[in-house]
Amino acid sequence: MEQTESTLQVKRQTGIALALALSMLLAALGTSIANIALPTLAEVFSASFTQVQAVVVGYLVALTVAVLIAGRLGDRWGLKPALIGGLILFAVASVLCSLASGLWWLVAARALQGIGAAFLMTLAMALMRQTTPQERMGRAMGLLGMTSALGTALGPTLGGLLLAELGWRSIFWVLCPLACIALMLILVALPTEPGKRTGKPPGLWSVLDRHLAPGLIVNVLVAGIVMTTLVVGPFYLGIGLGLDAQTVGLVMATGPGIAIFCGIPSGRLVDAWGSRRVLSLGLFLLATGAIMLAFVPNAIGAAGYVLSVMVLTPGYQLFQTANNTGVLADVPKERQGTVSGLLNLSRNIGLIAGASVMGALFAFGAGTEDIAHATGSAIEAGMRLTFLVAAGAVVCGIAIVRLAGR
């Protein structure tokens, strides 16, 4: 009898994990699947590259603005109902994207899709924390990290296939049936919550205490470094090393490819060692990888870049899994949505900072704003300065974690 109950519990937990992982996958897929279609959209709508970039930027800005709102609504109305609402909004917005008759209608629909994605990303993390036993929390967070990386890596590939075979509208409507599948899994697998929660959720400043702030600050720093590799990498590989576009894409896929296989092992390590030790290991690997990116690629070329990313990426997965687990470990039930929103907000702020601040630093190091026509030596100089500063940021993160531990 006990064995039967244990088997049922494992199956129930597996169903919950799959439902929440698919929600996280959809949010990441929505982020990356549209990028591949930007040249086609520019041609279809007779728009400039800057104008069609709004298709991607609108989604990211809406997602960033809405993550904290999604968490607060989840705490107020219940995490499961709020996630269901987010999935419905994401599915409807995907249909509207596929039916858009003009560029700005598409941008508006993508903003709605980004708001839906904020609910998916934020509430999937909070529900995973709420429904997973403490001794398996690291593996659960590792699964979410893995599916997020898988969605980011799968987006350009799936988008390219659909674009070639069925046209640009297909890259949006394909997300609708996936959202419907996730919705059915959520309805069936997740336990029903007791209903609307009484009273208002705790104020934001009461949630932001001294125990939570270090994890959020370091999350900003680390996300900025990861985005730096995505912004600087193509310029270094394409202009600095003179690689063709196909080879640049292959080399750039190394990071997301490694991240897919690091999520679950990272979670197991957190469960075995504890989040603080794994967090320190992840930051050490991130600092090492950033220092390697400053020097090794300039010495041995593309192989050096790949080798450096092979050190940096596992460090990021270890950090992300340990930090998410540690921050959410002791959060009361009525605050889990808000804290998940803060984690995603800090990550998105880091991504935006990595794209803007570190991109500007790269141009400063190269000595020119016209990066497309910079010399190889200028690109190398920009690469070196950017990742030395990135390594310094990780060292600051290590200091913050150590001080918080005391």
Q: Residue 178 belongs to a domain with what CATH number?
A: 1.20.1250.20
* Domains contained in the chain, number: 2
Residues 164 and 309 in one domain: no
What values do phi and psi take at 242, rounded to 5? 70, 30
- Residue 214: predicted pLDDT: 84
Residues 358 and 386 in one domain: yes
pTM (predicted TM-score): 0.75
- Residue 161: predicted pLDDT: 79
Residues 170 and 255 in one domain: no
- Is residue 198 a part of any domain in this protein? no
* Cβ–Cβ under 8 Å, residues 152 and 31: yes
- Residue 208: predicted pLDDT: 59
- Is residue 337 a part of any domain in this protein? yes
Q: Quick one: residue 199, left, alpha or beta (phi over 0 = left, psi -120 to 50 = alpha)?
A: left
Domain that holds residue 247: 204-406
- Residue 210: predicted pLDDT: 63
- Is residue 338 a part of any domain in this protein? yes
Residues 88 and 14 in one domain: yes
Residues 140 and 42 in one domain: yes
Measured CA to CA, the distance from residue 255 to residue 317 in angstroms comes to: 11
- Give the end of a domain, one of 138, 158, 190: 190
Residues 247 and 151 in one domain: no
Q: What sign does the CA torsion over 217, 115, 32, 25 have?
A: positive
Measured CA to CA, the distance from residue 126 to residue 145 in angstroms comes to: 14
Residues 72 and 181 in one domain: yes
Q: Which residue numbers in the chain have pLDDT < 70?
A: 1-11, 48-50, 156, 193-210, 245-246, 330-334, 336, 371-372, 405-406
Half-sphere exposure of 245 (CA within 13 A, CB side): 0
- Is residue 403 a part of any domain in this protein? yes
Residues 180 and 213 in one domain: no
- Residue 340: predicted pLDDT: 75
- Give the end of a domain, one of 190, 224, 259: 190
Q: Which of 168, 197, 47, 194 is nearest to 110 (CA)?
A: 168
DSSP secondary structure letter of residue 135: G
Residues 208 and 174 in one domain: no
Residues 142 and 249 in one domain: no
Residues 265 and 349 in one domain: yes
Residues 210 and 161 in one domain: no
Buried b (16+ CB within 10 A) or exposed e, 157-186: ebbeebbeeeebbbbbebbbebbeebbebb
- Residue 305: predicted pLDDT: 92
